[in-house]
Amino acid sequence: MADSSTDPIIAIATAPGRGGIGVLRISGPRLADYAHSLLGLTPRPRHAHYLPFRNAAGEVMDEGIALYFPGPHSYTGEDVLELQGHGGPAVLRRVLEDCLVRGASIGLRLAQPGEFTQRAFLNDRLDLAQAEAVVDLIEASSAAAARSAMASLSGAFSAEVDALAERIVHLRMLVEATLDFPEEEIDFLEKYQAAQRLEAVSDALDGVLRTARRGLVLREGLHVVLAGQPNVGKSSLLNALAGDEVAIVTPIAGTTRDRVVQQIHIEGVPLHVVDTAGLRDTEDTVERIGIERSWAEIARADVILHLQDARSPGDPLDADIARRLPPQAPVLVVCNKVDLLDEAGQRALASGAAGSRPAAGARSGAGMAGATGDGTGTVGIPAADTSDALLVSAHTGEGLDALRARLLSIAGWTPGTESPWLARERHVQALEAARAHLRAAAAHAAHSDQVLDLFAEELRLAHEALCGITGQFTSDDLLGEIFSSFCIGK
């Protein structure tokens, strides 16, 4: 990853492959003279010039539009020149190579991944959360995610974080101004209502954290694994949820030998649904490898759908599978093929009268950040209780809406709502760290024998954690990791 060098940089800013338009982007200080030598004229700022793109020998390589944005009023905060021509790979590469040759005298070089946006951050055109939102907007997999990413890019998330940081700074100012007078510590806490102020800030931070968790789910989605013995309808359920024949379905047990992954969206929330090989003892070498991969996939799941055949509740193999499922992820028991039961059988299954079955109607664990308010989870239901199992038919679609609603509930998502902005795992971790420091500060404020220095230090650490989100306190290593994930040209 490039450092904060001010060398001029260039890259193709459009996606690889053929297209109607291809864009070359150049950024650096004092590009006006270079632009004149390249174009044969001095471009007017923010004015579209239609002209031929000639090489050093005067040969026309392409024709298109040149745009010049003098710094600091540009994307990067430096001078930016964009050449918009035809989108063929060969013609773009030809113009790029000519620009590099003619820019050698000013040190023009190829840009590294994310370097344009990194310069925008370093030149205070974007904060770090906004810079991350650039790639989130590009990678958004749904309209809801795109809207939330655009809100983050516009500064909605940063404004929430900055407001929290400002309130903590104000409290820090009062505390640190009092540190020179240690005999007034207790008076300070009472006079400035420090505990009450701190509680109000903590409540506001909790609200931002809840929203950030929703934004994280919207950005990354849920890793949902379909698990169960062979022929319970896992592939059929995947096809039903996807609305397409993405997995092979046959009456032959063991048809699925390896995982099949399909991304779907529910209320704009992406779900990465994984169909796995049926879980059973087998002598077939290939099938056994597939089953081992199934268990590995189950271990990584955010949510496990334990599919069972509605016609045989309490099957011993289902009980064995339920005992082996990992405890860290929520497990939903899904009784499939209810369309093959008569009305009496459906009523018996729904009422739990069909007999004992494995425990685990709905185990909510700490594996999902949004499963509960504090991520601690709930206790599983009794073994003979089938009332919390989901009764579905992958063939007719019965019960699928209830399944979708349950998945959204596990994600902490309320139907009909949207996250006002996207968030990343590091944002959630920073907010959780800030919350922990505020709670420690509250503990110090609650005990008159605690020194005011500890109260002030916890406020400082909370403030620092928040500022790490927008990049005011961020290590160079983290910057390198973030921007290296961007595409070249951004």
Range of the domain at 102: 9-126
Strands 79-87 and 109-110: unpaired
Task: Report if pTM > 0.75.
Answer: no
Q: Which residue has the higher pLDDT, 204 or 222?
A: 204
pLDDT value of position 468 = 92
Are 406 and 435 part of one and the same domain? Answer: no
pLDDT value of position 361 = 39
Are 46 and 93 part of one and the same domain? Answer: yes
DSSP, res 45 = B
Torsion-angle region of 263 (φ positive above 0: left; ψ -120 to 50: alpha; else: beta) = beta
What CATH number did the domain enclosing 432 receive?
A: 1.20.120.430
Mean pLDDT of the region 178-186: 55
Q: 156-178 vs 194-220: helix axis angle to the nearest 10? A: 150
- End residue of a domain, out of 388, 410, 432: 410
- Report which of 218, 13, 199 is spatially closest to residue 133, judged by C-alpha positions: 218
Q: Which residue has the higher pLDDT, 8 or 135?
A: 8
**Mean of the per-residue pLDDT values for the chain?**
81
Average the pLDDT over each of 373-377, 434-438, 475-479 and give the range with the smallest value. Answer: 373-377
**Does the structure show a pLDDT above 60 at 174?**
yes
Q: 32-39 vs 89-102: helix axis angle to the nearest 10? A: 120
pLDDT value of position 260 = 81
Are 352 and 394 part of one and the same domain? Answer: yes
* Domain membership flag for residue 416: no
DSSP, res 382 = P
Are 118 and 262 part of one and the same domain? Answer: no
What CATH number did the domain enclosing 332 receive?
A: 3.40.50.300
What CATH number did the domain enclosing 96 receive?
A: 3.30.1360.120
Are 175 and 151 part of one and the same domain? Answer: yes
- Report which of 208, 112, 123 is spatially closest to residue 160, judged by C-alpha positions: 208
* Domain membership flag for residue 484: no
**Quick count: other Cβ atoms within 10 Å of Cβ 113?**
19
Are 231 and 338 part of one and the same domain? Answer: yes
Are 279 and 164 part of one and the same domain? Answer: no
Strands 19-28 and 79-87: antiparallel
Strands 269-275 and 303-309: unpaired
Mean pLDDT of the region 184-200: 69
Greatest mean pLDDT range, 42-56, 250-264, 271-285, 290-304: 42-56
Q: Tally the domains of the chain.
A: 3
**Does the structure show a pLDDT above 80 at 487?**
no
DSSP, res 182 = G
CA–CA gap between residue 472 and residue 253 (Å, rounded): 57
pLDDT value of position 101 = 94
- End residue of a domain, out of 126, 157, 187: 126
The band of 378, judged by pLDDT with boundaries at 50, 70 and 90, is very low
Token pair listed for 105: 């005298």
Are 234 and 311 part of one and the same domain? Answer: yes
Are 366 and 435 part of one and the same domain? Answer: no
SS3 24: strand
* Domain membership flag for residue 478: no
Are 258 and 391 part of one and the same domain? Answer: yes
Are 119 and 13 part of one and the same domain? Answer: yes
pLDDT tens digits, 337-365: 988 888 777 777 766 633 333 333 344 33
Task: Give the Cα-Cα-Cα angle 127, 130, 134 (nearest 5 degrees).
Answer: 135
- Report which of 268, 273, 2, 293 is spatially closest to residue 148, judged by C-alpha positions: 268
Are 233 and 327 part of one and the same domain? Answer: yes
